[in-house]
């Protein structure tokens, strides 16, 4: 592994205007990190990665590198790009065990983080670096949000999340209250009453998007986000139809294969998949089938009825009359994204949400109520982990400035 990574590092051209860095949503200082590695300064490289991205070990595994850093590498134009994902994974994994320092000196201010997905974790870690007393309120029994309950083990081992919890949360004095949903027994007003100076809302997007077609409530129909949460409790049978062809659909398909399904097919209403090329190729390699230009019109006990979509040379796409056909299957999994549940916004004075349940904020992450901030999927809908981290870094600084402004009043 190390020899391979060092070979990759040697291939880096150390461009003066690195397009790889521009392609990274979080502007990871890729050339500097690689240069430090080549100079045998592993710890310095690791420290730089974690300072820029608290979730670097996770992003190195789940980022869409082919469209971001690696997809913008100049070497990739005529050959193979520098595989920074492997370099980042190696450096961050090697450096992480050395991160054993305790919490920063307290600045006397409390911060509440509601939700422990990528956004909540990022903001908690950054604000803890400033000395805030941070408490994370998590509705489930373990932290991680979509990282733990929405990404399969074969792509993101749970041990990586557990290590992050130990090194970045527990060692830094961040407190965790699991199995508690703000808005039920405890309200936002209760948090302010107990001295929290600012509150961050990162409750994610856990409400599946439905097809709204006949048969969607039948017993053999499931939603992707629910299936990925705990796939072992589902009895799918041998033949599984997945409606959708994005990255979540690839996760569902590959998980179903690993859990015994023999024939797994993804159906797309478009003429191509929406998933990344890497994920599509892995799914294909593992035996997942794909059908295109098919629109689901009804789900029945025997399977799904699809209608063909006809494409014309001028770009028009129309449903083909009389083309309805039953595609037999034992189970159906709907994987067409998800949206926020919006319960907290409806229960909290001053918070506003769009008709799709997305929290309304300004450019700095402020909600309509003073002292409350939001970021991540609850604001933008289901996005990538690194996009959540990028936006959350900005919101964390905004929260810090807000609390500091209270001291000057």
pLDDT in tens, 64-95: 999 999 999 999 999 999 999 999 999 999 99
Instruction: Give me the domains of the chain, ranges plus CATH numbers.
Output: 2-98 (1.10.1060.10), 110-206+339-408 (3.50.50.60), 210-336 (3.50.50.60)
| Residue 1: pLDDT over 80 | no
| Residue 314: pLDDT over 90 | no
Confidence at 3, pLDDT banded by 50, 70, 90: low
**Residues making up the chain, counted from first to last:** 409
Is residue 274 within 8 A of residue 266, CB to CB? The reply is: no
Please compute the mean of the pLDDT values over residues 222-226 and round it to a whole number.
Answer: 97
Higher pLDDT, 141 or 348: 141
Q: Please tell me the number of Cα atoms within 13 Å of 141 on its side-chain side.
A: 1
DSSP category for residue 168: I
pLDDT value at position 2?
Answer: 56
pLDDT value at position 388?
Answer: 95
**Whole-number Å distance between alpha carbons of 132 and 15:** 39
| Residue 278: pLDDT over 70 | yes
| Residue 408: pLDDT over 90 | no
pLDDT value at position 347?
Answer: 79
Least confident interval from 149-153, 323-327, 380-384: 380-384
**Whole-number Å distance between alpha carbons of 402 and 329:** 54
Residue pLDDT, tens place only, 90-134: 999 999 999 999 999 999 999 999 999 999 999 999 999 999 999
The pTM of the full predicted model, rounded to 2 decimals, is: 0.94
| Residue 325: pLDDT over 60 | yes
Q: Pairing relation of β-strands 325-328 and 303-311?
A: antiparallel
Nearest to 370 by CA among 197, 235, 122, 143: 197
């Amino acid at each position: 592994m190390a020899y391979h990574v060092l070979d990759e590092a040697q291939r880096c051209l150390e461009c003066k205007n690195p397009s790889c860095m521009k392609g990274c949503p979080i502007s990871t200082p890729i050339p500097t990190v690689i240069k430090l590695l080549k100079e045998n300064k592993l710890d310095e490289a690791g420290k730089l990665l974690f300072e820029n991205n608290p979730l670097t070990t996770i992003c190195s595994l789940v980022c869409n590198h082919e469209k971001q850093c690696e997809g913008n590498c100049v070497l990739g134009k005529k050959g193979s790009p520098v595989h920074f994902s492997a370099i980042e994974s190696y450096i961050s994994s090697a450096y992480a065990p050395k991160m054993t320092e305790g919490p920063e000196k307290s600045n006397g201010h409390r911060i509440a983080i509601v939700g422990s997905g990528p956004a909540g974790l990022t903001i908690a870690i950054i604000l803890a670096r400033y000395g805030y007393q941070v408490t994370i309120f998590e509705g489930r029994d373990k932290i991680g949000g979509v990282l733990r309950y929405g990404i399969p083990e074969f792509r993101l081992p749970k041990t990586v999340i557990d290590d992050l919890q130990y090194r970045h949360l527990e060692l830094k004095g961040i407190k965790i209250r699991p199995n508690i949903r703000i808005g039920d027994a405890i309200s936002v007003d209760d948090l302010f009453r107990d001295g929290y100076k600012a509150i961050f809302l990162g409750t994610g997007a856990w409400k599946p998007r439905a097809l709204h077609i006949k048969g969607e409530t039948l017993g053999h129909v499931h939603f992707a986000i629910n299936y990925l949460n705990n796939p072992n409790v589902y009895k799918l049978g041998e033949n599984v139809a997945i409606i959708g062809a994005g990255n979540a659909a690839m996760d569902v398909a590959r998980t179903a294969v690993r859990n015994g399904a023999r024939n797994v097919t993804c159906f797309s209403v478009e003429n191509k998949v929406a998933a990344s090329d890497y994920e599509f190729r892995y799914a294909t390699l593992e035996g997942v089938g794909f059908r295109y230009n098919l629109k689901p019109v009804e789900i029945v006990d025997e399977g799904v009825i699809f209608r063909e979509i006809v494409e014309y040379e001028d770009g028009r796409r129309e449903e083909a009359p009389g083309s309805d056909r039953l595609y037999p299957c034992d189970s159906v999994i709907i994987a067409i994204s998800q949206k926020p549940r919006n319960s907290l916004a409806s229960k909290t004075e001053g918070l506003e949400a769009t008709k799709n349940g997305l929290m309304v904020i300004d450019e700095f992450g402020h909600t309509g109520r003073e002292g409350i901030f939001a970021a991540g999927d609850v604001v933008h809908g289901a996005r990538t982990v690194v996009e959540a981290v990028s936006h959350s870094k900005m919101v964390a600084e905004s929260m810090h400035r807000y609390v500091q402004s209270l001291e000057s009043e």
